[in-house]
Amino acid sequence: MTPLHQKLIDEIQLRGFSIHTQRAYARSVAGLAQFYDRSPDKIADDEIKAYLLHLLRIKKLAVSSIIVAVSALRFFFGQVLHRPTEAIEKALPTMKKPILRPRVYSVSELVQLFGCPDLSLKQRALLLTTYAAGLRVSEVCQLRIPDLLSDRYQIRVVQGKGQKDRYTIFSARLQEELRAYWRAYRPKDWLFPSRVYPDRHITEAGAQYAFNTAVGVGLPDRGGIHCLRHSFATHLLEAGVDLLTLQRLLGHSRLSTTTTYLHVRQERLAQVSSALDLIDFSRAKKTV
């Protein structure tokens, strides 16, 4: 690790950023250095802008990926190299983030997904837990046995996104499913241990592989395993759970993030009449 790389990691850790942010920022800075085959502190502002245009036009990265790269480079040049703010703003302009609505599965599609015959009992239990508790993939991978509070019907999520603990639902149905899984696999610490390294938890790639296996039997992929969390939120809203409760279950810092799910509630859309339905054509004068 170079001294510059170590300084970047130090600045990230001092601010309490997650390991995911640390890795994403390090990858972005390394990508810039590799593109020019020079140390990033030797790269000029106009070269930074040219690199971002390369990502956009040649690599054709999604806008969301480029926004991550811009944030990483802003942090590096501002907090690590201490370049003037005005120069950073010029070289790394703020990009407008696209508004993306969550994509969810219907209940009948979830029945098909969880019933996939190609899933192992462990894979099925992992996907059921992800949906039933509304967990992020990193959160379900890092669950430990003591985090399951069956007598309180709660799951404790330790240090979720934003380094926050929270509690979410641990339904009686999920308890039954996990007891069957435990009897078969007998996990000791991690709820879903790695197959190769039992003293470690399953990787996010392993969880995504389980999801890909389930949707491979004819279901559409609506954004990877994270769509199970979207489906959890949408279905609870449709069942009448209020936004504040859902916000706490999901661990959102801002209520505005939770309100995104209002856009996909089926019964609300069904209750809204079209403007065309308000017109009484029977009273309109007939023209020759």
For the annotated catalytic residues, the residue numbers are 136, 161, 226, 229, 252, 261
Encode 1-21 in three state secondary structure.
CCHHHHHHHHHHHHCCCCHHH
How far apart are alpha carbons 77 and 136 in whole angstroms?
31
Nearest to 236 by CA among 60, 104, 97: 104
How far apart are alpha carbons 4 and 228 in whole angstroms?
39
Classify 157 as helix, strand or coil. Answer: strand
How far apart are alpha carbons 207 and 211 in whole angstroms?
7
Q: For 104, left (φ over 0), alpha (ψ -120 to 50), or beta?
A: beta
How far apart are alpha carbons 29 and 74 in whole angstroms?
10
Per-residue burial over 13-46, b if 16 or more Cβ lie within 10 Å, else e, is: eeeebeeebeebbbebbebbbeeeeeebeebeee
202: phi then psi, degrees, rounded to nearest 5: -60, 150
HSE of 221, CA atoms in CB hemisphere, 13 A = 13
